[in-house]
A and B are shown apart, each in its own frame.
Chain A
Amino acid sequence: MNKETNFFKRLNDWVNGEADRLFPELQETDTPKAPEPVATIGPLPNKDVLFLTSYQAVALIVVIGMVSILLYTVYKLPLFGVADNPAVNEVVERYVEKGLEETGAVNVVAGMILDYRAFDTLGESSVLLLAITSVMMLLLKDEKNTDPDEELIEAHEAVIEDHNRDMILQTMTIILMPAIMLYGIYVILNGHLSPGGGFSGGAILGAGLILFASGFGHNRVKKFFNMNTFRALTTTALLGYGILKTYSFLLGANHLPTGIPLGIPGAIFSSGLIFVLDICVGLIVACTMYGFFSVFSRGEI
């Protein structure tokens, strides 16, 4: 056992390009900042130990029972990959056969999530807004959420980072960034024609921004993307999504035509609202993903 951990440790250090002197620092809890929490608790009272063990035993039994019930259920379910399972019914038929005609989207999945079942997707975009809002609520810098030592270390790190930008990272960023951005935009704009769409394209755009920020620093990103742009973009995109969909929900339910042309199937400017909605979703996702990164690492956008 000991030998094995040694091997892994050596492997680690080899991967990290570090020498043996880092051996004692391998245990994460022994960082200089951690004031040995165990010592402040002291040995657990007997009652608590008993409670914890019995809780774990009960939980284990529950999980094993649940998994065996589910396995038995799977055994009773329709087989994998056969065409006559109950899920293949008139709904699927209509989505595939009439989808292009009714929604204008060549990609049936995009047509389904942004037109047939658009209410779910509106909820899902709101989940993103909720997540970024709650993360901002927790991690934006304020009087309850600052630690002077941390601040000092972070300021110090920021200075070091600004002066010693990683050469390899920067060069690779310059090479890769345009390709990533272009690919993200392509995936968003082609959401109704090919696999992808707002969610994946937005995540790619967000990842591109994150790469840029880690290569060139937050301050460079701030020049074109700060809190105000972030707020304006997410709110406008989500509001646009909400209002467009409200318009189409209300008219649709009252059996009125929306008057939005579907265009020529397969053309880039086609499929009516889906094209616009994909752009909105892409913007929301890109901003949210970069927002997560920025708030997590700096406590600001």
Chain B
Amino acid sequence: MKNFFAELINDRFMIAAVLLFGLGFMNLLLQKNLIKKIIGFNVMDSSIFLFLASQGYINGRIAPIITNGVFDAEVYINPIPSGLVLTGIVVSVSVTAFFLALTVRLYGIYKTVDFDEIMLLINKEAE
């Protein structure tokens, strides 16, 4: 039992990331308000990045910027996750902007940001 808790605390970032992923995913899926849907998407993406970044971390090592001519791989953390997350953040902000633009246009047409209402109105128009 003690071991289990030790591991729980040790894996804190990964567990937090998974729970936040679930939270974000649920809000992207279920939230009616488009703005909150977008916040849900952002939380989901950043939780994945947190997971990835925590995979790169190694206890007692420093950021991968070569200092004082030390080239030993034992001194620095894993640089790959940082690079991937950097790519991911930019993708995520781009998608956010697109999503928000769609929201603004839909509000201009239907005067609401409630997704279910918008869908009902669209279906009503089609009939």
Contact = CB atoms under 8 A, between A and B. Distances in A.
Interface residues of B, number: 63
A82 B11 CA distance: 11
Interface stretch (A2-10, A16-24, A65-73, A172-180): A65-73
Contacts of B93: 131
A60 interface: yes
Contacts of B14: 74, 77, 80
B11 A70 contact: no
Nearest to B24: A63
B95 A131 contact: yes
B54 A80 contact: yes
Interface in B28-56: 29-30, 54-56
A60 B57 contact: no
B71 interface: yes
Contact of A82 (B58, B84, B89, B120): B58
A124 B21 CA distance: 23
A194 B63 CA distance: 10
Contact of A92 (B15, B71, B78, B87): B78
Interface in B69-101: 71-74, 76, 78-84, 86-87, 89-91, 93-95, 97-98, 100-101
Nearest to A138: B101
A229 interface: no
A79 B11 contact: yes
B111 A34 contact: yes
A46 B55 CA distance: 48
Contacts of A138: 101-102, 104-105
B120 A71 contact: no
A22 to B, nearest CB: 21
A82 B117 CA distance: 50
A59 interface: yes
B79 A96 contact: yes
A296 interface: yes
Interface in A68-109: 70-71, 74-75, 77, 79-83, 85, 87-88, 91-93, 95-97, 99-100, 106-109
A87 B56 contact: yes
Contact of B114 (A37, A75, A107, A120): A37
Of the candidates B30, B72, B78, the one having the most CB atoms from chain A within 10 angstroms of its own CB is B78
A96 B73 contact: yes
A113 B26 CA distance: 32
Nearest to A90: B73
Contacts of B56: 87
Nearest to B26: A63
A204 to B, nearest CB: 14
A195 interface: yes
Given A41-B121, A67-B19, A127 B57 contact: no
A171 interface: no
Closest 3 CB pairs of A and B: A131-B94, A67-B22, A108-B64
Given A83-B59, A134-B101, A147-B108, 4 more contacts: A87-B78, A113-B83, A128-B94, A130-B94
Interface of A: 29, 33-35, 37-38, 40-41, 44, 48, 52, 56, 59-60, 63-64, 66-67, 70-71, 74-75, 77, 79-83, 85, 87-88, 91-93, 95-97, 99-100, 106-109, 112-113, 117, 120-121, 124, 127-128, 130-132, 134-135, 138-139, 145, 147, 150, 194-195, 197, 199, 265, 285, 292, 295-296
8 contacts: A37-B111, A44-B120, A74-B11, A80-B12, A81-B59, A83-B61, A96-B66, A130-B94
